[in-house]
Amino acid sequence: MNKKIILLLSIFIFLLTPYIKASEKSLTLEECINFALENNSSIEVAQKQIDVTGANIKEINAGKYPRIYVLGSARKCEYQTGYMDFSLSPPNPDLTDGKQIYLNSDNFDASMAVEISQTVYDGGDIHIKLIAAQLEKENAEINMESVKEDVSYKVKLAFYSALKSKDQFRLSEENVKTGEEHLKLAKALFDAGLVPQVDMVTAEVALTKASMLFSQAQNEYNKSVNNLNTAMGRELEDTVDIYGDSSYILLHIDEKSVMERALTGRCEIRQLNLALSNQQDSVSNIEALIKPTINANAGYIVRNNNSIGRKGFYFEVGLNLPIFNVADRAELEKIRAKTAEAEKQKELLVSTVKLEVKNALLDVKSAESCIEIAEKEVELALLHLQISEGKYKQGAGTIMEVTNSQLNLMKSKTDYINAIYNYKIALATVEHVANIKLEDVRQKNDLTDK
């Protein structure tokens, strides 16, 4: 009794070991995505763009506040005149010639002032520039969202491909073990004189083919892991193990909601809408250029002793009134042409998004039907294998029937694995092209977990 308990515990621990390792070291899809988002260089570039637009907003806002300057100048002059007598000292009364010049200066002037400058009215120029800068920042933020979505989607594709290759690798390993069992059976029956030698040779050939498929599956898994490392921003030499299973959830998607969300939430459409808004603001900016601007300056200046007006306050007001500028009309026509171009681009983009979403939804339906067919094929192939093995053990069948049945079972299981992960990839593609989470647009009571 104790031996049975120990045996059962040993089997239980053996079966549980892969899951324990997966929970400790293996990476889930969410962990792979988070790692990629933290280490992808394109995300860092997008963040720098957001920082630049934020700094631009601060710079524009600074124009609303007064500016304080400290001004200073100094000069040394050497005077030259056409007079015969020139002196920096008082005139000599003994000289009767009136061609004398007296400069009460040591030919050195200096001044220093503190000035405050404030734009009183700018025709709305700062406000319009601020709106444009805020649109640029919003565009940069949308671009960041788009970059993160692209990174996440690439990781999903690489992860599901790696997981599919991993399952196919395990399936190939099981196929080799089954081929070894068939070879042992053929040898045993041959030694007993129940089957000809050709059965044993046929079993050996089937095992060789299974080993070849196993080697190919291992190679495909290694390549898929390299692709996943690249998508995550890791080195190709880094070892990584992933954890997942072949279970899936059938979602009954509200296609109308998906299409509506795509046409309003797709990053490219939102960015194009911002561009159109920016064009409209540019028209207003051109109109602001013909409005007058008023600027006021006030300060206090101190000069050296030899200068006129040694110290005092000063105040000045400046008015800028544009009268005529041909370039403004040309700029306005250019902006209107760009607006018309952007509107046409939006029409083309909307058509492209509709096509991508429609095709992605069709791929989901196709993948669903492939799963159903593949499930039935696996059941049928397994039944054929059981029948052929039973007949062969009883001497009523051939080893060729057994190996063919095993090969068909291998193919049907491979098709089943492909169908499951194609379905998961199709769902991820719908989320990507519509920029949504499918949980937000699924129909109520529509989940079927398998």
Structure confidence by residue, pLDDT tens digits, 222-269: 999 999 998 888 887 777 788 877 777 788 888 888 898 899 888 888
Q: Which of 129-143, 280-294, 366-380 has the lowest mean pLDDT?
A: 280-294
What is the average per-residue pLDDT within 149-178? 92
Q: How far is CA 227 from CA 5, 165, 168, 221, 223, in A?
A: 44, 12, 17, 10, 6
**What's the CA gap between 370 and 210, in Å, rounded?**
25
Query: What is the 3 state secondary structure string of the chain?
Result: CHHHHHHHHHHHHHHHHHHHHHHHCCECHHHHHHHHHHHCHHHHHHHHHHHHHHHHHHHHHHHHCCEEEEEEEEEECCCCCCCCEEECCCCCCCCCCCCEEECCCCCEEEEEEEEEEEEEECCCHHHHHHHHHHHHHHHHHHHHHHHHHHHHHHHHHHHHHHHHHHHHHHHHHHHHHHHHHHHHHHHHHHHCCCCCHHHHHHHHHHHHHHHHHHHHHHHHHHHHHHHHHHHHCCCCCCCCCECCCCCCEECCECHHHHHHHHHHHCHHHHHHHHHHHHHHHHHHHHHHCCCCEEEEEEEEEEECCCCCCCEEEEEEEEEECCCCCHHHHHHHHHHHHHHHHHHHHHHHHHHHHHHHHHHHHHHHHHHHHHHHHHHHHHHHHHHHHHHHHHHHHCCCCCHHHHHHHHHHHHHHHHHHHHHHHHHHHHHHHHHHHHCCCHHHCECCCCCEEC
Q: In the prediction, which pLDDT does 362 show?
A: 93
What is the average per-residue pLDDT within 145-173? 92
Q: In the prediction, which pLDDT does 105 show?
A: 47
Q: In the prediction, which pLDDT does 328 show?
A: 61
214 or 76, which is more confident: 214
137 or 287, which is more confident: 137
Count of Cβ atoms closer than 10 Å to residue 430 Cβ: 24
**What's the CA gap between 167 and 423, in Å, rounded?**
15
Q: In the predicted model, what is the mean pLDDT of the chain?
A: 79
Beta partners for residue 242, in sequence order: 27
pLDDT over 70 percentage in the chain:
74
| pLDDT > 80? residue 126 | no
Q: pTM of the prediction? A: 0.72
Count of Cβ atoms closer than 10 Å to residue 369 Cβ: 11
Contacts of 46 (CB under 8 A, 6+ apart): 140, 143, 144, 147
Q: In the prediction, which pLDDT does 444 show?
A: 45
Q: Which pLDDT band holds residue 84 (cuts at 50, 70, 90)? A: very low
| pLDDT > 90? residue 359 | yes
Q: In the prediction, which pLDDT does 193 show?
A: 84
Beta partners for residue 113, in sequence order: 71, 301
**What's the CA gap between 113 and 70, in Å, rounded?**
6
Q: In the prediction, which pLDDT does 288 show?
A: 55
- In total, the chain counts a number of residues equal to 450
Phi-psi region of 233 (alpha: psi -120 to 50; beta: other; left: phi over 0): left
| pLDDT > 70? residue 418 | yes
Tell me, what amino acid is at 181?
A: E
| pLDDT > 90? residue 80 | no
| pLDDT > 80? residue 402 | yes
Q: Considering only CA atoms, which of 442, 123, 67 is closest in space to residue 284?
A: 123
Q: In the prediction, which pLDDT does 327 show?
A: 63
What is the average per-residue pLDDT within 217-226? 91
Q: Which pLDDT band holds residue 447 (cuts at 50, 70, 90)? A: very low
Burial class (CB in 10 A: 0-12, 13-18, 19+), 32: buried
Q: Which pLDDT band holds residue 427 (cuts at 50, 70, 90)? A: very high
